[in-house]
């Protein structure tokens, strides 16, 4: 089941907001589409991104895909574990497979994002 | 609604039922993966994988002058073949570049079968016919045949109980006609993975029972259905070339390192003069295997830099699932292509160091005991 406390972008990133900190990763649907993930390229702590900007890349055996910011903010933490164990994104996309934490520029800046229910409908339509 | 113009193999329904992801490839709708590329790759290296590669093209060349035509078209020396033997070869343009790489099967002195890449089948058939000045009969039988590839260290043990053919009598690059699950088939010890294995050619009408019969028989030994994704990562580790990526109409066979399938002992074949001249003068660029020295993955078409100058591109690049390294193939200037030489691959605009290494990247351990 898609966790209800997350917001989703059309590019299949998720965002969990706790206070002014947003945790970002990719959806279960996205990891399934990509297949076995073998490498993730994440930004440096302190980098600032606008909503929609590319913040990194995720590589599966077959392809490389860009990661897009679901909101604006400054990176405060990256998931260092993924360097040695990128497969955590496949195994636990909403938990241990998280990618970055950002200090959100504006916690209200989520109008374009979907709820879990809306996202589930969205991926059904895409198929 | 978009109507797909891609062709489907006779096993399309079977692939769908197994949950395969299907993609357009060379005009066909083909399974790229079932359980996942890495899982299928490991299965082929450790047990077995069954591939539907019915998209490949097969041409029958027959008649008293069949060998003459094959010898004119192909760069390797087909006169060395005996009945029941196969040979890796190529068809070249007059300038020595590749029309296609092919496998030639000799049924008899007057009957050969040419197996060609799906992406080139139409072009090849026209090419062959336009050079058929000896009245050999050339027939495209691709649509009547299903081609399955059973690959892996357990392939022999999985197939043996299903056929009346003693597989021990079939060495590498040899074949025989036999029954497989009571279906008439050509059983060939060939493949595109770097493992022991067999390719089975039989009537497309028998596709489903043979496909599911082999899968069921092999499952207890770890056999899985495998798609084009794993086929690509497997062949790259074994440095088997892919037409359209590593070789094409702009690369000569010598540049590609395929001199071993160019026989200058033959008096005449298309491309001979140009290739002989290039052999004498030396090639200006060479296809090399490389490893990335960082964790960056080189992908197909990424630019390659030598001494800060763009010198070509990655023709095939991928993570190596077996070796846990990132590997690839690229054309480098000949003076900069020796083992150990370093150069750079541009990965999304950033230069990453790579090193020329010995190939194949992966070579299977061959046991002296053949069951």
ipTM: 0.81
Distances (CA, A) of A25 to A77, B7, B242: 13, 38, 35
User: What is the Cα–Cα distance from B357 to B330, expressed in whole angstroms?
Assistant: 12
Q: Is the pLDDT of residue A11 over 80?
A: yes
How buried is A48 (Cβ within 10 angstroms: 0-12 exposed, 13-18 middle, 19+ buried)? Answer: middle
Q: List chain A residues with CB under 8 Å of B33.
A: 35
Which domains does chain B carry? 284-357 (2.40.30.110)
The answer to whether residue A110 sits within a structural domain is yes
Nearest chain A Cα distance for residue B230, angstroms: 9
Provide the number of structural domains found in chain A.
1
**Taking each helix axis from N to C terminus, what angle separates B228-237 and B37-46, rounded to the nearest 10 degrees?**
50
Is B106:B47 a contact under the CB 8 Å cutoff? Answer: no
Nearest chain B Cα distance for residue A36, angstroms: 7
Task: Dump pLDDT digits (tens) for B215-258.
Answer: 999 999 999 999 999 999 999 999 999 999 999 999 999 999 99
CB contact under 8 Å between A35 and B233, yes or no, is no
What's residue B4's pLDDT?
58
The answer to whether residue A95 sits within a structural domain is yes
Task: Dump pLDDT digits (tens) for A47-95.
Answer: 999 999 999 999 999 889 999 999 999 999 999 999 999 999 999 999 9
Q: Which residues of chain B have pLDDT under 50?
A: 1-2, 368-371
What's residue A125's pLDDT?
86
CB contact under 8 Å between B36 and A64, yes or no, is no
What's residue A111's pLDDT?
86
The answer to whether residue A96 sits within a structural domain is yes
Q: List chain B residues with CB under 8 Å of A63.
A: 299
Task: Dump pLDDT digits (tens) for A54-67.
Answer: 999 999 998 899 99
Task: Dump pLDDT digits (tens) for B288-327.
Answer: 999 999 999 999 999 999 999 999 999 999 999 999 999 9
DSSP symbol at A2? -
The answer to whether residue A12 sits within a structural domain is yes
Q: What is the pTM of this model?
A: 0.93
The answer to whether residue A104 sits within a structural domain is yes
The answer to whether residue A1 sits within a structural domain is no
**Domain residue limits at A94:** 7-126
Nearest chain B Cα distance for residue A111, angstroms: 31
Chain A positions with Cβ closer than 8 Å to B: 35-36, 38-39, 57, 59-64, 83
Q: List chain A residues with CB under 8 Å of B299.
A: 63-64
Q: Residue A85: which CATH number?
A: 2.40.50.100
The answer to whether residue A2 sits within a structural domain is no
User: What is the Cα–Cα distance from B202 to A120, expressed in whole angstroms?
Assistant: 44
**How many residues belong to chain B?**
371
Q: List chain B residues with CB under 8 Å of A39.
A: 295-297, 319
What's residue B3's pLDDT?
54
Is the Cβ of B299 closer than 8 Å to some Cβ of chain A?
yes
Q: List chain B residues with CB under 8 Å of A64.
A: 297, 299, 348
Q: List chain A residues with CB under 8 Å of B37.
A: 35-36, 60-62
SS3 sequence, chain B?
CCCCCCEECCCHHHHHHCCCEEEEECCEEEEEECCCHHHHHHHHHHCEEEEECCCCEEEEEECCCHHHHHHHHECCCHHHCCCCEEEEEEEECCCCEEEEEEEEEEEECCEEEEEECHHHHHHHHHHHHHCCCCCCEEEECHHHEEEEEEECCCHHHHHHHHECCCHHHCCCCEEEEEEECCEEEEEECCCCCCCCEEEEEEEHHHHHHHHHHHHHHHHHHCEEECCHHHHHHHHHHCCCCCECCCECCCCECCCCCCHHHCCCCCCCCCCHHHHHHHHHHCCCEEEEEEEECCCCCCCCCCEEEECCEEEEEEEEEEEECCCCEEEEEEEEEHHHCCCCCEEEEEECCEEEEEEEECCCCCCCCCCCCCC
What's residue B186's pLDDT?
98
- Other CB atoms closer than 10 Å to residue B80's CB: what's the count? 12
Interface-testing mutation among A41, A61, A89, with chain B (most B C-beta atoms within 10 A):
A61
State the pairing for strand pair B28-33/B7-8. parallel
CB contact under 8 Å between A62 and B229, yes or no, is yes
In B, minimum Cα distance to A32 occurs at B36
Closest CA to B318 of A97, A29, A108, A35: A35
Q: Is the pLDDT of residue A2 over 70?
A: yes
Q: List chain A residues with CB under 8 Å of B38.
A: 35-36, 61
The answer to whether residue A79 sits within a structural domain is yes
Handedness of CA B337, B339, B345, B350 (dihedral sign): negative
- Other CB atoms closer than 10 Å to residue B82's CB: what's the count? 9
Of B295, B296, B318, the CB nearest to A61: B318
What's residue B367's pLDDT?
56
Is the Cβ of B233 closer than 8 Å to some Cβ of chain A?
yes
Is the Cβ of B33 closer than 8 Å to some Cβ of chain A?
yes
Q: Which phi and psi angles does B230 have, rounded to 5°?
A: -65, -35
Distances (CA, A) of A97 to A44, A81, B2, B169, B269: 18, 9, 36, 51, 57
Q: What is the largest CA-CA distance in chain A?
A: 37
State the pairing for strand pair B223-225/B48-52. parallel
Strand-pairing partners, residue A64, are: A59
Closest CA to B107 of B141, B131, B134: B141
């Amino acid at each position: 089941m898609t966790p209800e406390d997350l917001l989703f972008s059309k590019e299949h990133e998720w965002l969990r907001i706790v206070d002014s900190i947003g945790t970002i990763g990719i959806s279960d649907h996205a990891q399934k589409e990509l297949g076995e993930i073998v490498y993730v390229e994440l930004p440096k702590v302190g980098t600032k991104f606008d909503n929609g900007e590319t913040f990194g890349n995720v590589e599966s055996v077959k392809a490389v895909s860009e990661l897009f910011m679901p909101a604006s903010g400054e990176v405060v933490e990256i998931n260092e574990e993924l360097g040695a164990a990128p497969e955590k994104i496949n195994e636990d996309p909403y938990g241990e497979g998280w990618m970055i934490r950002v200090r959100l520029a504006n916690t209200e800046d989520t109008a374009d994002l979907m709820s879990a229910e809306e996202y589930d409908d969205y991926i059904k339509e895409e198929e | 609604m978009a109507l797909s113009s891609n062709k489907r193999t006779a096993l399309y329904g079977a692939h769908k039922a197994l949950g395969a992801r299907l993609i357009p490839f060379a005009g066909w709708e083909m399974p790229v993966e079932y359980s996942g590329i890495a899982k299928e790759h490991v299965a082929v290296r450790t047990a077995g994988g069954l591939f539907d590669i019915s998209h490949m093209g097969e041409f029958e060349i027959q008649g008293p002058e069949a060998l003459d035509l094959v010898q004119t078209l192909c760069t390797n020396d087909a006169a060395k073949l005996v009945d029941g033997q196969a040979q890796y070869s190529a068809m070249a343009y007059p300038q020595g570049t590749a029309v296609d790489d092919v496998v030639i099967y000799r049924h008899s002195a007057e009957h050969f079968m040419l197996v060609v890449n799906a992406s080139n089948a139409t072009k090849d058939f026209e090419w062959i016919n336009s050079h058929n000045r000896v009245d050999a009969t050339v027939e495209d039988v691709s649509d009547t045949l299903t081609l399955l590839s059973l690959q892996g260290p357990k392939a022999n043990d999985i197939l043996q109980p299903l056929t009346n053919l003693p597989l021990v009598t079939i060495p590498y690059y040899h074949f025989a006609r036999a029954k497989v699950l009571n279906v008439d088939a050509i059983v060939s010890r060939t493949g595109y993975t770097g493992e022991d294995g067999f390719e089975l050619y039989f009537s497309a009408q028998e596709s489903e029972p043979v496909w599911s019969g082999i899968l069921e028989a092999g499952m207890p030994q770890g056999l899985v259905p495998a798609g084009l994704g794993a086929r690509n990562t497997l062949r790259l580790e074994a440095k088997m070339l892919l037409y359209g990526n590593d070789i094409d109409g702009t690369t000569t066979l010598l540049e590609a390192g395929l001199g071993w399938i160019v026989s200058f002992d033959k008096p005449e074949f298309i491309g001979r003069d140009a290739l002989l001249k290039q052999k004498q003068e030396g090639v200006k660029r060479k296809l090399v295997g490389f490893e990335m020295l960082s964790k960056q993955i080189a992908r197909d078409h990424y630019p390659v830099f030598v001494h800060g100058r763009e010198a070509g591109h990655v023709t095939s690049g991928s993570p190596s699932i077996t070796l846990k390294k990132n590997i690839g193939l690229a054309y480098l200037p000949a003076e900069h292509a020796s083992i150990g030489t370093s150069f750079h691959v541009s990965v999304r605009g950033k230069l990453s160091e790579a090193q020329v290494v010995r190939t194949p990247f992966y070579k299977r351990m061959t046991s002296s005991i053949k069951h």
